[in-house]
Structure 1
Amino acid sequence: PPRKLSPAARRWRRAISQSVMDNASPEKALVLLKTPTNTVVFLATRRILSTMLKRSSLLDDEIQRFGCRALASLSKNTAAGAKGVLDAGGPRALVHAMRAHPRNPEVQSEACVLVINLTKHNAAAASTVREYGATQPIVDALTTHKTVSDVLVWASAALGFLALHDASGAAAVIAADGHSAVAQVMLGPSRQTMPADADVLPVIQQWGAALLSNIARHGTAYASAVAAAGGAKAVCAAMRAQPDDASMQRDGALTLVNLAKIDAQSAHAVTAAGGAELLVMALRAVIGGDSKEPTWVYVSGLGHLAKHSAATAEAVAEAGALD
């Protein structure tokens, strides 16, 4: 950005800053102030970041919450917008907010939404967010706010996007024990930790299944981590609870395929959780529907299950794989 801002640039910069304090829509300010998007996003982010890092107010938690929301709005729709926020230090702001107010669920959930918007576009963006140390605070939010629906949903989704693009992202989630935390959430809360919105569990399961699939597909070591965290049980429970959700069935089945490849112990865990039946159901849905998923993936998974032991082979046969 130029060293000296034009009067117009100064006006929209003030408007963006004020939107943070007033909880107004950042997009509204951007529409009113017709400036190039890349410049707007970069300079607006710098201004918001400066406000968030001051921490000079008794209302700092509100500043952090609205700041994360504003940055999430700026980065929501395009890779260019996300890059502008990234280049201006947006990840620093969200990590600062999460660490400054770990007990505030609204700050945590708004920061997780920001992580999603920054990381969904490409691996470079996800890598930048990880380098700022965002992974561990997200996992901490999951384990701290076990009864808050928004945190459970958006933290699970954020971890899924961090693990989506490459093996290093998956490794970072495993190192922070994020896969274990999400697997436990997918299995459903206890009565002591039931979220206020009990209907949120299917959404958590969908994001969780995507996360475990994103991790397990990177190789045996990653699939083994998912297996050790109880991934087979979590995935099977989610697939069984949502038989008509295509993305759930796809992500769950692909995870089970990767778990089946590992060893006899993992294959037994899959069959014990009902994975053979669920893989057969998924395969039949692919064959009988208009899905573009390759059938060999599911056939391969059933083959891996069957090869490990007589018990797992019997489970595959009883599931109807030979019909």
Structure 2
Amino acid sequence: AAIVKLQGVDVVVSAMKRHVAVPAVRTNGCEVLAYLAREEAHQPLIATAEGIEAVVAVMQAAARDPTARQYACRILAYVSSNSARQAQIAAAGGIEALIGAMLAHPKKAALQHSAIAALSNLAASNPAIQAQIAEHNGIELVLAAMLGHRRDMAVQENGCGALSDLAQENLLNATRITEKGGVEVAVNCIREVSSKLGVVENGLQALGDIGRRNPKAQARMNELGTGELAIAMMQKYATRPRVQQHCCSVISAVVSSEGVKAELNHALRRAVAAAMRAFPANPEVQSRGCEAFSSFTKKAGGEVEALDDGVAELVVQAMHGHPKKISLLLHGCQALANMTATDLGHQTRVMAHGAAEVVAAVMCAHGGEVELMSSACLFAGNLAYNPENQKVLLDLGFREMIQGLTETHGPQGDLRLNLRALKALGNLDHTEEARDESTASKAN
């Protein structure tokens, strides 16, 4: 703070710009900025004073100076937590500078973990930067750093975090991480340092993000015993909600693969149920738990086992308890649709827990959420297949709500939503003889 008051960030940045070729100036300047950047209040001052551009220039000029580059990577790690500054870093060539530093100094653990932290922040929820990092072989560099510094906890924790941020909602990156051995790296990391909470949390989060909608990763995770590992971590960290939520995501991926043994499948389902019962007020645990149950119930016969384990009640309770958490509601509707798809007796069991009422409330509150409404219509269509459920659905206003969706989204709207809505309306209106020719469906 004294430095900021007496001299100002702009003085330091100005000196770095004027004397970028002088090793002492650029190293000392980066050291000062790295110290200042630890404070969140100083980070916008550095960006406004063109400190980001100055730091990138230092990284380009100091190709053989690991000390200056290490400080520079640390600065970028600190200031990259803000979306506007992320764009500023990318525009200044910061991604290439970080990649270059990692390539040039693979044995410098401190530089590696700072550079990885910066890349992780830059990639978070930013598809364009995720792709840019991958194009510059950033995925391979993160994995190489983790393999090269297996005893450095900062490298392991930041590395797992970066794999998560690079794979999040990015199937291309998730597939590439899988093909480059990223699943093995994350699994081994958790096993080797299971006493380090930060590493475990980030490692599990990475596996969940890598495995989502990624059949190759799901199969590899099953082969490596990742389901058993998730159960062990849930037991070890029973009071840690972040561990529980990420384990639920891992389990969702594992059970989506083929060849999961029945005994393991049962143990995984019970582990998810235990997590949801332990943290009913935590929206992330509940959302990831519903996601896992959606995966369980999608498999043939999975809905019977889920019903026997009380899954329908847990899902309905989660939806009641977190009526604004869209991801939870989506996974919940999918799970309920799966449990009502194949058997009229299953529908009766699900209905007994108030499933129709909670889905009706969801449709009233979130009519603009297309994917959510599509799953809600699928659930309603399955229930309407049973004449005994029809009056309940009509009394709850399902016909009017579904008709409203078809009018709001129109024939040019989402095809899946329109098809499911029309099918639900048809099942609500058909005679019993006509309904026998229809079918119920699971979410996909």
Q: After TM superposition, is the score higher than 0.5? A: yes
Q: 1:219 to 1:50 in 2, by over 3 A?
A: closer
| Structure 1 residue 306 displacement after superposition | 7.9
Aligned-partner residue type, residue 268 of structure 2: G
Aligned to 2:252: 257
Kindly tell me: are residues 11 and 303 of structure 1, through their superposed partners in 2, closer, same or farther at Cα, counting changes over 3 Å? closer
Of the candidates 44, 47, 50, which is equivalent to residue 40 of structure 1?
Answer: 50
- Classify the secondary structure of the residue corresponding to 1:244: coil
Q: What per-residue deviation string (whole Å, max 9, x for no partner) do you get for residues 182-226 of structure 1?
A: 11111135xxxxxxxx85x22111001111111111243342233
Residue correspondence of structure 1 range 144-155 to structure 2 within 5 A? 144-155=148-159
> Is residue 176 from structure 1 mapped to residue 180 from structure 2 by the alignment?
yes
The partner residue of 1:129 within 133, 143, 157 is 133
Q: Could you tell me which runs of 5 or more consecutive residues in structure 2 were left unpaired when the two chains were aligned.
A: 1-8, 314-444
Q: Is the CA contact 2:73–2:98 (under 8 Å) kept in the aligned structure 1?
A: yes
Checking the alignment, whether the CA contact within 8 Å between 1:256 and 1:270 is kept in structure 2 is: no
More contact order relative to length (CA 8 Å, sep ≥ 6):
1
Deviation by residue 1:44-87 (Cα, 9 ceiling, x = unmatched): 2442232333x2xxxx22122112112223323x1111111112
- Runs (5+) with no aligned partner, structure 1: 1-7, 190-197
Q: Distance in 2 between matches of 1:138 and 1:103?
A: 13
Asked if the contact 1:126–1:162 (Cα under 8 Å) also holds between the matched residues in 2, the reply is yes
- 1:243 counterpart SS class: coil
- 1:202 is aligned, of 181, 197, 200, to 197
Change (3 A) 1:107 1:218: same
Shift of 1:150: 1.2
Aligned twin of 2:94: 90
* Residue 12 (structure 1) shift: 2.8
Change in CA separation of 1:93 and 1:301 when aligned onto 2, cut-off 3 Å: same
Q: 1:276 aligns with which of 269, 293, 307?
A: 269
Counterpart pick for 1:188 among 181, 186, 192: 192
Q: What do residues 267-299 of structure 1 show as CA deviations (whole Å, max 9, x unaligned)?
A: 558448x4233122123246x435363564343
Q: Percent identity?
A: 17
Give distance in 2, aligned partners of 1:252 and 1:118: 25
In 2, the alpha carbon distance for the partners of 1:125 and 1:98 equals 17
Amino acid at match of 2:242: S
TM-score where L is the length of structure 1:
0.76
Change (3 A) 1:38 1:235: farther
Question: Corresponding residue for 2:32?
Answer: 24
1:303 is matched with 297
- RMSD across aligned positions (CA): 3.6
Indicate how the Cα distance of structure 1 residues 100 and 11 shifts in structure 2: closer, same or farther if over 3 A, else same.
closer
Whole-Å separation in 2 of the counterparts to 1:34 and 1:106 = 24
Cα distance in structure 2, aligned partners of 1:177 and 1:231: 14
In structure 2, which of residues 221, 228, 231 is the aligned counterpart of residue 226 of structure 1?
A: 221
> Matches of 2:176 and 2:11 in 1, distance apart?
40
* Other structure's SS at 1:187 match: helix
Cα deviation, 1:156-186, whole Å, max 9, x if unaligned, reads 1111111113112212221221221011111
Contact 1:38–1:80 (CA under 8 A) maintained in structure 2: no
Change (3 A) 1:24 1:37: closer
Q: What's the CA shift string for 1:107-163, capped at 9, x where partnerless?
A: 211111111221124111222122111111111111121111111111111111111
| Counterpart check, 1:114 vs 2:118 | yes
* TM-score normalised over the length of structure 2: 0.57
Hey, what does 1:215 align to over in structure 2?
Answer: 210
